[in-house]
Each structure stands twice: as structure tokens, then as C-alpha cells.
């Protein structure tokens, strides 16, 4: 048994090292000066420029207009991530509630229609979506960034399966206890779904946070730039003899990893529970 | 509050034409404990759920406390229900589970607190009020489910196989608790079970259902001693009543060639019902010869299973010496039940049976 355990740990540690190494390299490199990185490649040892670099990316105003800071971009990303996650949870819970608890015509075909949209990624419908939002005058706005991506087949599917596993007697007991559709939803289903909501929240927050193509299309105003676009624009300045600010790009990348990491850490227990447990 | 229960010609037909319940007439007095009993699929749960309002009533009329409730929501019917799996809200504490329905009904807070405290005291739930259901044992959850019913102070309790999820010992304890609680509150109760022992011990009156129809309604001993059909005879009692093919020939009842005495009946085949405890050992060569198959030792007695000319029969015997391969038994005259061999309906009692029934404790 001991031997097997030893190898288990070895494999896990190797796997962890492989996953952690690039992050470590990014972090270490971000503490060196740009010229140093350009001349000597990436680093695995800490440098002396760390504090200066991070202060700079968070506070220095950059971009064409000279009024976008790293903090501003982080906030935009956060708004996008949170808006996505919360909006998707609310919308898909309500959709699933309708599909599972209300008998209406074509409920099953409607569900399968929603389900098949899983097969259509954003990229496929990006032009029509852009057209619609542009006509609505929603370019360069938060709601234009968030609303078109709110419908979530994944979320609806998960919540539908979850609601179906809730025993019918709970609904019946609630009916005898005088709870109408809203009260049953808010008083029983929503609290019961907490682990599921946490699981979806993590997935959707990371998804929203990492959006690149859609924000790039929807926003031309630098005030709405997200962190990921910020990283890209730092690396785009390689004109003539100018060296891109590698250290700043690395610093932004490291910063961009922190909120999703925080979300996962905060919700991981609920997350695992949501995906595995069916204690009702 | 006086609250009887009236079912008039109640029926349930599912989409697709499947008839689950048909033509049920039942009058339940205020405070009465009625048990609906029958094998699975007999429509007993459907009937209960129609009274609760969880199932639409396709035909007939259900009235609670004199008020027709066919079109009312469950919450407006003045009933409370206890489910087989308890259906407690898992995210709420015991207290919140009991309070929720009252809060939804917008009762004043002091009244809610009074009722919950009273129910907790009655059901000894005090120490668990702030626990979640998952932290409770099966019996405690069962009590919470009853508490949730009690605080509603309903006109009628509806129980849907509430003890099926408990182990055998706890079931006996809880059975007693349910009975005591119901007596004490004096609330009308409708109780569904497939367990005939539970039905016998709990009921003021039994309703035996078969194939969506009522087979018999009566007090437990009445049903036991005078089953209205071979179905009831075979369902109520453990072991079930022996049902044997016999004949009436020349005014005598004959089973397996043995004359069991006079029977002023139409000549021809009859189904003879015999309770295991109405058979008594007789001397060798005397009475009915039973070829023994196996014996169940119960400690206080034993049940011998065997065959009379190929027909299975169970005999209840006092504990004693080991039995041989054959025993001879003679039925008590007052324990002969005759049924129509085709319809299964009970035939008029033999004079001795009628007399025994009149004189017996069940009269």
C-alpha cells in the first residue's frame, strides 16, 4: 500500500509541477525589467523590478487616449465575469424551472432546441449578434457586452437535471403548505440549488472573465477594455526599436489569473458538492 | 371543529382511459381514524391524493367538513399530509419546516410560535428544533413530518404510508405514537398502507380496496371475522385465510371427502374459507388429513403449512412436540366461511357462524 501511495503522490506532484511551472515563469519574469527579458529570455528566479512593475500596470494610464489603467481594465473584466455568471444563473434557473415544473405544449421540443444551441458556439453567430446589438445602439456599453451572451444552454441543462432529481413530494408538501409557484421557487428550489449555483458560477465566471473575441468586437472605446485586451495591446507596440513591455504583459497575465483563482478557492467545496452530491 | 369527510361516487380516470379509482362512496365521521388498505396498484394512494388535492378528481365529489373541495387548492382544503419519504425541506431547520406553511398562511408570529412550541412539546422535538433534517434519525424525521402536519391544526390528517421507510421495531413504536396523537387531537385521519397489520391495529374502520373499488368497509375485527369476499379473506390476517375448494352435496358440506356438517345451501361447488386458528388437531384417522410441507416456529406458537389433497393450507398450532409427516385437523364449526366460487362474494353465514358472530366480542 505504501508503495502505491508513494507513486500516486509522485504522479500528482509531477502533474502539479507541469501545471504550475508556466505560471511561476510568468510571475518570476514579471519581476524583471523588459530589456532584461528581451535579452536573456524567461526567468525562474525573482528579479528586483516586481513592485515597480505591478504598481505601474495597475495605476499608469495608458492606451491611445491615455486614460486606461490596469485597475480599470480589471474592473471591466470583473463586471463582465460577474454579470455573465449571475445573469446566466438567474436566466437558466428560470428557464429550467419553467421546463420542469410547468406543463405546457412543446416543452420537450423547446428544451431540445435550447440544448442544440450548445452545438453553436459564439463564433458562429457573432456577426448577427453584432448586427443586432449595433442596431440597438448597444456598442460600447456594459449591457451590450453582457446581455447577448446570457442565454446558456449548459446552465439550463444542468438546472433542469437538478430540478428533475428533486423529489415530487417536496413540491406537493409545498403546495399543501400554501406556497405558490414563486414561493416554491424562491423558498425551496433556490436554496436547494446552492451547490449547483456555485458550480455554474465558477464555470461561467471564468468563461466571462476570459472572453476575448466578443468584447473586442463590441467595444472600441478604451474605457471598456478588459484585462485580456490590455495584455494584447501591450504586446502590439513593437514598432521600430521599441521593446514590448514583456514584464507588464506578464504582470497583467498574473493579475488576470487571480480573480478566477479566488472564485475557485472560495467556492470549491460547494463546487465539488454541486457536481457530485445529490443529497436532497 | 367538526369535520367529517364525505366521498361521493369518487373516481379517477387517467389520460389514456386507465381507471385507477371507481365509484368510491365513503362517509367518515369527525375524529374517526380510517385506514385505506390494499395491495399496490389498488388505487388507495390515488384516492388519498384526490382528497389532498394533489390529484384531480375525475368523477364524483369530495367534501371536507361539509364543504365540497373538488376545485380547491391543497392549501385551501384544511388538510395536512404526511408523506412516505417525509418530504421535509432539507435546507430548513426543524422549526422552519414546521413554520413555513403557517408563515405562508400569514398567521401572526405569536400564534406560529405557540403552535410550534406546542407541537414540539407533544412530539418531544424540543432538542432538535434548530437541527436540519439530515442530522436526524428516521424516526425523528417522521416525527417532524407529523409536527408539520399538527401545527396546521387541520380538519383532517392524510397519511401516505408514513411508516414504510422505518425499520420494523420503530414502525411498531411510531404506530402507537400516531394512534395516541390522533386520539388526543381528535382529528379525522385518513391513512394509506399496504400493511394489513398496520391497518388492523390503527383503524377505527378499515376500507379494503381492490382494483380501484371498495371491497369492504368495516371495523377491523368485523372485517377479520366476516370478510365480504375471498379477496378480503386472503388479504387481511396473517397467515391469510385458507381458501379451499369444497362442495355442498345432499345438504352436507364436504371437503376432500370429509363431511364437515350440514349446510342448507344450493348443491354444488363452494369456496370454503378457514382461518388457521380455527383448525384444531384431531386424533389420527379423524377429520381432515394434512400432508405437512414445513413448519414456521414463532415461539408463542407455530404455523404448519401443508396440503389437503393438493390444496395448500396453513394451520396455527400451540408449541409442542415435533409433528410427523401428516396431521389430522378439524375446523371449528363457527369458523366455516362460505364464498361463491365464481364471484368470490361471501355467501349467507351458516347458522352456527352467525350465532358466534352475534355472541362474539365483535358484535
How much is the ipTM here? 0.83
The whole-number average pLDDT for the span A124-143 is 85
Last residue of a domain, one of B184, B201, B230: B230
Residue B236 lies inside a defined structural domain of this protein = no
**Which of B75, B91, B134 lies at the smallest CB-CB distance from A191?**
B91
Residues of B in contact with A188 (CB under 8 A): 89, 91
Q: Across residues A124-133, what is the average pLDDT?
A: 85
B90 CB near a chain A CB, below 8 Å?
yes
Domain boundary among B204, B230, B256: B230
* Residue ranges in A30-152 assigned as alpha helix (H): 34-40, 50-59, 70-101, 107-116, 126-135, 142-146
Q: Which residue(s) pair with B82 in the sheet?
A: B159
CATH number at residue B119: 3.40.50.300
Find out whether the peptide bond into B31 is cis, omega within 30 degrees of 0: no
CB contact under 8 A, B104 and A167: no
The pLDDT mean for chain A works out to: 82
Confidence band (pLDDT; 50, 70, 90) for A43?
A: confident
From first CA to last CA, the distance across chain B in angstroms is 30
Band (A241; pLDDT cuts 50, 70, 90) = low
Residue B235 lies in a domain: no
Q: State which residue of chain A sits closest to B133, comparing Cα positions.
A: A280
- Least CB–CB distance from B87: residue in A172, A179, A187: A172
Please say if the pLDDT value at position A118 is more than 80: no
CA distance B52 to B74: 6
Q: What is the pLDDT of residue B130?
A: 92
Q: Is B307 on the interface with A (CB under 8 A)?
A: no
Q: Which chain A residue lies closest to B105 (C-alpha atoms)?
A: A178
Find the closest chain B residue to A194 by CA distance. Answer: B91
CA of A252: how far to CAs of A55, A61, A258, in Å?
Answer: 11, 14, 10
Residue A116's pLDDT band, with cuts at 50, 70 and 90, is: confident
> What digits encode the pLDDT tens for the residues A56-101?
777 776 655 666 777 788 888 888 889 989 999 999 999 999 988 8
Same domain, B187 and B332: no
Q: How confident is the model at residue A225 (pLDDT cuts 50, 70, 90)?
A: confident
Look over chain B and give the mean of its residue pLDDT values, rounded to a whole number.
88
| Mean pLDDT score, B107-114 | 92
Q: CATH number of the domain that B313 lies in?
A: 2.40.50.140
Residue B79 sits at the chain A interface (C-beta within 8 Å): yes
DSSP letter string, B139-152: HHHHHHHHHHHHTT
Residue B363: per-residue pLDDT:
42
Closest chain A residue to the Cα of B78, Cα to Cα: A176
Residue A279: pLDDT over 80: no
Averaged pLDDT, B17-37: 91
Phi, psi (deg, nearest 5) at residue B248: -105, 115
Superfamily of domain A2-276: MetI-like (1.10.3720.10)
Shortest distance between the Cα of B72 and any Cα of chain A, in A, equals 11
Asked if A173 and B87 come within 8 Å (Cβ–Cβ), the reply is yes
Determine, for residues B91 and A179 on separate chains, whether the beta-carbon distance falls below 8 Å: no
| Shared-domain flag, residues B28 and B130 | yes
Average pLDDT over residues B114-125: 91
Mean pLDDT, rounded, for A209-227:
82
B83/B97 Cα distance (integer angstroms): 14
Task: Enumerate the residues of chain B whose CB falls inside 8 A of the CB of residue A194.
Answer: 91
- Could you tell me if B173 and B129 lie in one domain? yes
B204 and B252: one domain? no
Q: Does A126 touch chain B (CB under 8 A)?
A: no
Residue A172 sits at the chain B interface (C-beta within 8 Å): yes
Of A174, A191, A279, the CB nearest to B134: A279
pLDDT above 70 for B16: yes
Give yes or no: residues B51 and B200 share one domain: yes
State the smallest CA–CA distance between residue A168 and chain B in angstroms: 9
- A-contacting residues in B 2-61 (Cβ below 8 Å): 52-54
Query: Does residue B222 sit in the same domain as residue B312?
Result: no
Q: Residues B191, B246: one domain?
A: no
**Chain A residues whose beta carbon lies within 8 Å of the beta carbon of residue B100:** 177, 179, 187
B-chain residues near A172 (CB < 8 A): 52, 54, 74, 81, 83, 87
CB spacing of B89 vs A183 below 8 angstroms: no
Distance from CA of A70 to the nearest CA of B (A): 42
How far apart are alpha carbons B274 and B127 in whole angstroms?
51
The answer to whether B90 contacts A192, with C-beta atoms less than 8 Å apart, is: yes
Cell numbers at residue B38, please? 390494499
Q: Compute the C-alpha angle B54/B198/B160, nearest 5°.
A: 10
Rounded-to-integer distance, Cα B71 and Cα B53, Å: 8
Structurally, chain B folds into a number of domains equal to 2
Average confidence (pLDDT) over B95-123: 92
Spatial separation of the C-alpha atoms in residues A222 and A230, rounded to whole Å = 10
What pLDDT was estimated at residue A280?
Answer: 44
- Nearest Cα neighbor of A205 from A87, A73, A71 is A87
Q: What's the pLDDT score for residue A220? A: 79
Q: Which residues on neighbouring strands pair with residue A243, listed in sequence order? A: none
Q: Rounded to whole angstroms, how far apart are CA atoms A265 and A273?
A: 14
Minimal Cβ distance to B75: which of A170, A177, A191:
A177
Residue B70 predicted with pLDDT over 50: yes
Residue contact B87–A175, C-beta within 8 A: no
Residues B222 and B247 both lie in one domain: no
Tell me the pTM.
0.81
Is B104 in Cβ contact with A179 (below 8 Å)?
yes
Q: Containing domain of residue B101, as a range?
A: 5-230
pLDDT at A277 over 60: no
In this structure, are B282 and B178 located in the same domain? no
Of the three residues B230, B250, B275, the one that is the final residue of a domain is: B230
- Same domain membership, residue B225 and residue B329: no
Confidence label for B298 from pLDDT (cuts 50, 70 and 90):
confident
Is the domain of B54 the same as that of B201? yes
Residue A239: φ, ψ to 5°: -115, 130
> Averaged over A47-55, what is the pLDDT?
77
Residues 147-206 of B with CB under 8 A from A: 148
pLDDT digits (tens, 9 = 90+) for B307-343: 998 899 999 988 877 778 888 888 888 888 999 989 9
**What is the tens place of the pLDDT at every residue in B225-283?**
899 999 999 999 888 899 999 988 888 888 888 888 887 777 889 999 999 989 888 87
Mean pLDDT of B129-157: 91
Q: Kindly list the residues from chain A whose CB atom is less than 8 angstroms away from the CB atom of residue B54.
A: 172, 175-176
Share of chain B above pLDDT 90, in %: 47
Residues B225 and B248 in one domain: no
Mutate to test the interface with B, among A177, A193, A278 (most CBs of B within 10 A): A177
Q: Is the pLDDT of residue B158 over 90?
A: yes
| Statement: residue A262 has pLDDT above 50 | yes
pLDDT band at A216 (very low <50, low <70, confident <90, very high): confident
Amino acid at each position: 500500500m505504501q508503495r502505491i501511495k508513494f507513486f500516486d503522490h509522485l504522479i500528482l506532484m509531477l502533474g502539479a509541477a507541469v501545471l504550475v511551472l508556466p505560471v511561476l515563469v510568468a510571475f518570476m519574469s514579471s519581476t524583471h525589467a523588459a530589456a532584461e527579458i528581451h535579452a536573456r529570455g524567461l526567468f525562474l528566479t525573482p528579479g528586483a523590478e516586481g513592485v515597480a512593475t505591478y504598481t505601474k500596470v495597475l495605476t499608469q494610464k495608458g492606451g491611445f487616449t491615455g486614460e486606461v489603467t490596469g485597475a480599470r481594465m480589471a474592473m471591466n473584466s470583473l463586471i463582465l465575469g460577474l454579470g455573465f455568471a449571475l445573469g446566466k444563473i438567474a436566466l437558466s434557473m428560470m428557464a429550467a424551472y419553467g421546463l420542469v415544473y410547468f406543463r405546457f405544449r412543446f416543452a420537450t421540443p423547446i428544451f431540445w432546441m435550447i440544448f442544440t444551441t450548445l452545438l453553436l458556439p459564439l463564433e458562429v453567430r457573432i456577426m448577427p449578434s453584432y448586427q443586432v446589438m449595433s442596431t440597438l445602439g448597444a456598442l460600447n456599453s456594459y449591457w451590450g457586452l453582457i446581455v447577448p451572451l446570457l442565454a446558456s444552454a449548459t446552465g439550463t441543462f444542468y438546472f433542469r437535471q437538478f430540478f428533475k432529481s428533486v423529489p415530487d413530494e417536496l413540491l406537493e408538501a409545498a403546495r399543501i403548505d400554501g406556497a405558490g409557484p414563486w414561493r416554491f421557487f424562491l423558498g425551496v428550489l433556490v436554496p436547494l440549488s446552492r451547490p449547483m449555483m456555485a458550480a455554474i458560477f465558477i464555470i461561467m465566471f471564468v468563461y466571462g472573465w476570459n472572453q476575448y473575441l466578443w468584447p473586442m468586437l463590441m467595444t472600441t472605446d478604451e474605457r471598456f477594455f478588459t484585462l485580456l485586451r490590455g495584455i494584447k495591446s501591450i504586446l502590439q507596440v513593437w514598432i521600430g526599436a521599441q521593446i514590448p513591455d514583456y514584464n507588464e504583459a506578464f504582470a497583467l497575465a498574473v493579475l488576470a489569473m487571480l480573480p478566477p483563482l479566488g472564485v475557485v478557492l472560495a467556492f470549491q467545496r460547494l463546487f465539488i458538492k454541486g457536481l457530485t452530491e445529490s443529497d436532497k | 371543529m367538526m369535520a367529517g369527510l364525505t366521498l361521493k361516487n369518487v373516481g379517477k380516470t387517467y389520460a389514456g382511459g386507465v381507471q385507477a379509482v371507481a365509484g368510491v362512496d365513503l362517509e367518515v365521521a369527525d375524529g374517526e381514524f380510517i385506514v385505506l388498505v390494499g395491495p399496490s396498484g389498488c388505487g388507495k394512494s390515488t384516492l388519498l391524493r384526490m382528497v389532498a388535492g394533489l390529484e384531480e378528481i375525475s368523477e364524483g365529489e369530495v367534501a371536507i367538513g361539509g364543504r365540497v373541495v373538488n376545485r380547491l387548492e391543497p392549501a385551501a382544503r384544511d388538510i395536512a399530509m404526511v408523506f412516505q419519504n417525509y418530504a421535509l425541506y432539507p435546507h430548513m431547520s426543524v422549526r422552519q419546516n414546521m413554520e413555513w406553511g403557517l408563515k405562508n398562511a400569514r398567521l401572526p408570529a405569536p400564534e406560529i410560535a405557540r403552535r410550534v412550541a406546542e407541537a414540539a412539546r407533544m412530539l418531544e422535538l424540543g432538542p432538535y428544533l434548530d437541527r436540519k433534517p439530515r442530522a436526524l434519525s428516521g424516526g425523528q424525521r417522521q416525527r417532524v413530518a407529523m409536527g408539520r402536519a399538527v401545527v396546521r391544526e387541520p380538519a383532517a390528517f392524510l397519511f401516505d404510508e408514513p411508516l414504510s421507510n422505518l425499520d420494523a421495531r420503530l414502525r411498531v413504536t411510531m404506530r402507537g405514537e400516531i394512534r395516541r396523537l390522533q386520539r388526543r387531537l381528535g382529528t379525522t385521519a385518513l391513512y394509506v398502507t399496504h400493511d394489513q397489520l398496520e391497518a388492523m391495529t390503527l383503524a377505527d374502520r378499515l376500507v379494503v380496496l381492490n382494483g380501484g373499488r371498495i371491497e369492504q368497509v368495516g371495523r377491523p375485527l368485523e372485517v377479520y371475522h366476516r370478510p365480504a369476499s375471498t379477496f378480503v379473506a386472503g388479504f387481511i390476517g396473517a397467515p391469510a385465510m385458507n381458501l379451499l375448494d369444497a362442495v355442498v352435496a345432499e345438504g352436507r358440506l364436504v371437503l376432500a371427502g370429509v363431511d364437515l356438517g350440514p349446510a342448507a345451501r344450493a348443491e354444488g361447488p363452494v369456496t370454503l374459507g378457514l382461518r388457521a386458528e380455527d383448525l384444531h388437531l384431531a386424533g389420527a384417522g379423524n377429520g381432515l388429513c394434512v400432508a405437512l410441507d414445513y413448519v414456521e416456529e414463532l415461539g408463542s406458537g407455530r404455523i404448519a403449512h401443508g396440503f389437503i389433497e393438493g390444496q395448500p393450507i396453513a394451520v396455527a398450532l400451540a408449541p409442542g412436540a415435533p409433528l410427523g409427516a401428516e396431521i389430522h385437523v378439524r375446523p371449528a364449526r363457527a369458523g366455516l366461511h362460505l364464498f361463491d366460487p365464481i364471484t368470490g362474494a361471501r355467501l349467507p353465514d351458516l347458522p352456527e357462524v352467525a350465532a358466534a358472530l352475534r355472541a362474539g366480542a365483535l358484535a
